């Protein structure tokens, strides 16, 4: 019987090859496969929050790629494969973020008599 030592709990969604990578370093991963779409969606949302936080702390291309990977998975599970066309439509109607505009406040004009 093998004794568990240096056990670390995660309970998080990981990339498909992570269990094999862990095994290659003579460690033992305990995993399960999410079979329910609702549970998968819940874990993807948690993963998106994790990846956005990591990008916030270290804004590099690798972290941004992780965010995009989760967004792609979310698009697939929700049937949003057309997300890029919706993105383009919104960009045409409302613009993108290229002009770097920050809205400070909005107020009504006073009617001067």
pLDDT in tens, 11-23: 999 999 999 999 9
Helices 61-77, 37-57: axis angle to 10 degrees equals 160
pLDDT band at 28 (very low <50, low <70, confident <90, very high): very high
Is 13 among the domain residues? Answer: no
Task: With a cut of 90, say whether residue 60 has pLDDT above it.
Answer: yes
Is 24 among the domain residues? Answer: yes
Instruction: In whole angstroms, give the CA distance from residue 72 to residue 76.
Output: 6
pLDDT band at 3 (very low <50, low <70, confident <90, very high): low
Instruction: In whole angstroms, give the CA distance from residue 51 to residue 67.
Output: 5
Distance set, CA 35 to CA 18, 38, 91, 110 (Å): 18, 9, 36, 59
Domain count for the chain: 1
More confident: 83 or 20 = 20
Task: With a cut of 90, say whether residue 88 has pLDDT above it.
Answer: yes
Is 104 among the domain residues? Answer: no
Segment 4-33 mean pLDDT: 93
Is 88 among the domain residues? Answer: yes
Q: Which residue segment(s) compose the domain that 54 sits in?
A: 18-94
pLDDT of residue 110: 82
Is 27 among the domain residues? Answer: yes
pLDDT of residue 5: 75
Q: What angle do CA 52, 53, 54 make, to 5 degrees?
A: 90
């Amino acid at each position: 019987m093998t004794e568990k030592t240096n056990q670390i709990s995660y309970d998080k969604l990981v990339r498909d090859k992570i269990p094999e990578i862990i095994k290659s370093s003579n460690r033992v991963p305990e995993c399960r496969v999410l079979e329910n779409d609702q549970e998968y969606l819940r874990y993807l949302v948690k993963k998106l929050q994790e990846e956005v936080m990591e990008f916030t702390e270290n804004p590099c291309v690798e972290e941004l790629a992780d965010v995009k990977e989760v967004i792609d998975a979310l698009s697939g599970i929700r049937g949003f494969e057309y997300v890029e066309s919706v993105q383009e439509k919104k960009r045409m109607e409302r613009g993108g973020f290229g002009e770097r505009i920050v809205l400070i406040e909005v107020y009504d004009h006073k009617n001067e008599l």
